[in-house]
Chains A and B, each alone.
Chain A
Amino acid sequence: MSKVEMMVNGRKVAGEVEDRTLLVHFLRENLGMTGTHVGCDTSQCGACVVHLDGKAVKSCSMLAAQASGSDVITIEGLAAGGELHPVQAAFKEHHGLQCGFCTPGMIMAAVDMINRHPGGLDEKTVRAELEGNICRCTGYHNIVKAILAASGQMSAGAARAA
């Protein structure tokens, strides 16, 4: 057993887990935060993407013990004060989901992608960057539209703030 401690969405959490516990299971089962999904369990689908110390990672492919001491952001941590994050709002506006199962991972991947491309994104880049996220409904078209819209909005916001 390992004692793990980490910041999750700005809150300090701790738990005693088996060493083999995956980060995604720690989030879902120990913390009850079920927004992060397990889709394929083979590291391919990206439904489990969270941010670890500011970078998108697959929480089904790392142990909770590996993440101990880190800062984790999940889909539950994006909306501030009841207001949707711009990427969440864009997914709603552009109907970037069908069944919704892949959506938490898609949104976490999109936020990471936009953070890494502060100058903006084009469609080709978005599609290439979505390599690690699978939508079984094949709803990519509106997902790409939503990410492009959010990217434009967030880049414009950053430019205004500068």
Chain B
Amino acid sequence: MYQTNYHRASSVDDAVKLLKSSDDGKLLAGGMTLIAAMKTRLAAPSDLIDLRHVGELKGISVAGKEVTIAAGTTHAEVAAHGELARACHAICHLASHIGDPHVRHMGTIGGSIANNDPAADYPAGLLALGATIVTNSREIAADDYFTGMFETALEEGEVVTAVKFTAPDQCGYAKFPNPASRYALTGVFVARRGGEVRVAVTGAGDDGVFRATAIEEALAGSFDPSALEGVSVSADDLMSDIHASADYRANLVVVMAKRAVAAAKG
């Protein structure tokens, strides 16, 4: 790891100030990706601004169907939150399968979506839920927020402070984990509100998380795994790598969508 300068932010405003006064600073949430990237010298920020001790970035609130998760909330906290599980079990299920128990004690929802790894779980959840990403300066719809592989709509000096969404009528998440890394080789989150179904796919796209419209249309007619019999997804914009070909991932998208719907119907 190259040299860096560590700063501990006391508030979001303080973090923004520290970030702006640094040469090439980065915000440090749980660090489960950033520290590993720094160790391999894939990242070399001049300054790290630690958000882990910022009180205003902690906590989950559930009021009826309205859910707000502060950006610094860890995966373990999301996974174990009883009230959230009653409102939207699938998001807890998703969080409980990120990495491993030790990673889930440090990694945060804000860190995950600020990084927008193409195989991370939360981007699929938030896109399918039609969530709103709240920052220190504005609110961004998930549809506009995830702009590509490791790319988001965040501007310089902008900090994710929370995500919020209205719990859908039914939702489910299924992922086929890479057997080595446990990142999603393909993960599919489905959410139904009345007759509207949103389906988001992570791990498979060539340019990060995306909505699978063919699957959405099939499920809008009948929210049942059987509605996906014979439905196929084009492999054109999917990823091919040593782990799986685009064709294999295209098949997995449909299989995982079926499992996600089955999970949603519980």
Nearest B residue (CB) for A4: B6
Closest to B2 in A: A20
Q: Are A66's CB and B76's CB within 8 A?
A: no
Q: Is the interface of B mostly helix, strand, loop or mixed?
A: mixed
Indicate if the CB atoms of A61 and B5 lie closer than 8 Å. no
Cβ B32 vs Cβ A131 within 8 A: no
Contact of B105 among A46, A57, A129 (CB under 8 A): A57
In the complex the two chains form, is A19's CB within 8 Å of B6's CB?
yes
Number of residues in A with C-beta < 8 Å to the partner? 28
B102 touches which of A2, A18, A42, A58 (Cβ 8 Å): A58
Contact A61 B99 (CB under 8 A): no
The reply to whether A56 and B102 form a contact with Cβ atoms under 8 Å apart is: yes
Number of interface residues of B (CB under 8 A): 27
Q: Report the minimum CB–CB distance from B81 to chain A (whole Å).
A: 14
Chain A hits for B102, CB < 8 A: 46, 49, 56-58, 109, 112, 132
Q: Digit string of A2-29 for contact with B (CB within 8 Å is 1, else 0)? A: 1000000000000000111010000000
Evaluate contact between B99 and A55: CB separation under 8 angstroms: no
Query: Is A131 touching B36 in the complex (CB atoms < 8 A)?
Result: no
CA distance A56 to B100 in the complex (A): 10
On whether the beta carbons of B3 and A20 are closer than 8 Å, the reply is yes
Can you list 29 pairs linking A and B with CB atoms under 8 Å apart?
Answer: A18-B3, A20-B1, A20-B3, A22-B1, A22-B35, A43-B35, A43-B103, A46-B102, A52-B105, A55-B105, A56-B102, A57-B102, A57-B105, A57-B106, A61-B32, A61-B35, A62-B31, A62-B35, A62-B106, A63-B48, A66-B28, A66-B50, A112-B102, A129-B101, A131-B100, A131-B101, A132-B101, A132-B103, A133-B100
The list of the 7 closest CB pairs from A to B, nearest first, reads A132-B100, A131-B100, A19-B6, A65-B6, A55-B105, A20-B1, A132-B102
